[in-house]
Amino acid sequence: MFFRYTVYMDASQLHTLFLIIHLLGVTIGAGGAFFSDGVFFTSIKDRKISKDEFGIIKYSSQMTWVGLILLLVSGAGLFGMNAESLSNSVKFLVKMSIVGVLLLNGVIFHIVHLPFIGKHIGEFLVKKNKPSSFKDGPFLLFSGVISVTSWIFALVLGALGSIPFSYLGSMSIYIGIIALGTLLCYLMFSKFLDHDNKKTLVKITLINIIVVLIFFGSSLLTTGFISKAPIVDEAKIEVPADSYSRDDVALHNNSEDCWLIVDEFVFNVTTASKLHPALFNCGSDASENYHKNHG
């Protein structure tokens, strides 16, 4: 028993380390993204980007990349420690999907948008009393919306102990917020864009709405918009089931102290059970029901 306890403590410490790196990645990445996007949106209103503003955008983007790398490393570490359970964790899958979106958005920004901005330092992107015709305008705005929305979503997911929605339901909410943000950008910045760029921004918004409907419809036809399975929070420390007997787990059988067995691990799901008591059979083995509802 002492040997198993020692191994468990080592694993829990490593788990905690990965969580700290994960939170640090979100903080650094979100800070860099918000700062960079804030400078860019302000420069659009000023009609040009100065050398100092470009330097801030470039430096903030590098901070964002550091945050993304930390998220990838910590995410891989957490997944490696408990692949079977996390592969069925909606919160974890949504968060890592958003990291994937941020990576793609970041690559496009550094390859396409950042060089474009660098070539026009000090130049008027928007001439006085004349809408801009620079073709990257709508896509730069859309890139900013994706960045802000994704990092806010990552911060919210990190703050929540669990989410009640299915994967497709959660992604439809995420893409819906991006669509709303794109529409707000159109309302705020349309006077700085010419007719063709306005049409492009509207098309981007409509495409987002169509994708939202696809994800929402798919969620209703498959897993449902609301998750029907016990909600496992990957931030909780997973305890190997053989460290406790089934009788030990059975003692934690109410919404004020709720433990569940999923596969080879014991989860403390007390917080989630208080929110959704009907979904939990506390103190029992929930493996069959968990995998049934998560495929």
Same domain, 244 and 217: no
Same domain, 265 and 184: no
Same domain, 63 and 206: yes
Last residue of a domain, one of 221, 256, 276: 221
Structure confidence at residue 2 (pLDDT): 37
Alpha helices in the chain (DSSP H): 2-46, 51-81, 83-86, 90-108, 114-119, 137-159, 167-189, 195-221, 246-250, 270-275, 287-294
Q: Is residue 232 part of a domain?
A: no
Same domain, 146 and 261: no
Same domain, 79 and 46: yes
**Residue indicated by tokens 């026009």:** 120
Residue 256 belongs to domain spanning: 239-294
Q: Is residue 234 part of a domain?
A: no
Q: Is residue 14 part of a domain?
A: yes
Q: Is residue 85 part of a domain?
A: yes
Task: Determine the Cα angle at 215 with ends 211 and 220, to 5°.
Answer: 145
Q: Is residue 94 part of a domain?
A: yes
Same domain, 137 and 246: no
Same domain, 109 and 195: yes
Phi-psi region of 132 (alpha: psi -120 to 50; beta: other; left: phi over 0): beta
Same domain, 194 and 255: no
Same domain, 198 and 127: yes
Q: Which pair of tokens denotes residue 21?
A: 């790196």
Last residue of a domain, one of 221, 254, 276: 221
**Residue indicated by tokens 């709303």:** 180
Q: Is residue 23 part of a domain?
A: yes
Same domain, 159 and 245: no
Same domain, 173 and 276: no
Q: Which pair of tokens denotes residue 238?
A: 């997973």
Q: Which of 64, 275, 229 is nearest to 150 (CA)?
A: 64
Same domain, 278 and 201: no
Structure confidence at residue 293 (pLDDT): 62
Q: Is residue 230 part of a domain?
A: no
Q: Is residue 133 part of a domain?
A: yes
Structure confidence at residue 275 (pLDDT): 67
Is 60 exceeded by the pLDDT of residue 264? yes
Range from 148-162, 179-193, 260-274 carrying the lowest mean pLDDT: 260-274
Give how far Cα 215 sits from Cα of 19, 89, 168, 177, Å.
Answer: 29, 18, 6, 13
Structure confidence at residue 125 (pLDDT): 57
51 and 121 Cβ atoms separated by less than 8 Å: yes
Q: Report d(CA 66, CA 26) in Å as an integer.
A: 10
Number of domains comprising the chain? 2
Q: What is the pLDDT of residues 30-69, one digit of tens each?
A: 888 888 878 777 776 666 777 888 888 888 888 889 989 9
Classified as helix, coil or strand, 99 is helix
Q: Which of 34, 19, 105, 22 is nearest to 71 (CA)?
A: 22
Q: Report d(CA 229, CA 241) in Å as an integer.
A: 20
What CATH number is given to the structural domain containing 257?
A: 3.10.120.10
Last residue of a domain, one of 192, 221, 250: 221
Q: What is the pLDDT of residues 203-254, one digit of tens each?
A: 888 998 898 888 888 877 776 666 655 555 444 444 454 566 777 788 878 7
CA dihedral 143, 149, 150, 151 (to 10 degrees): 110
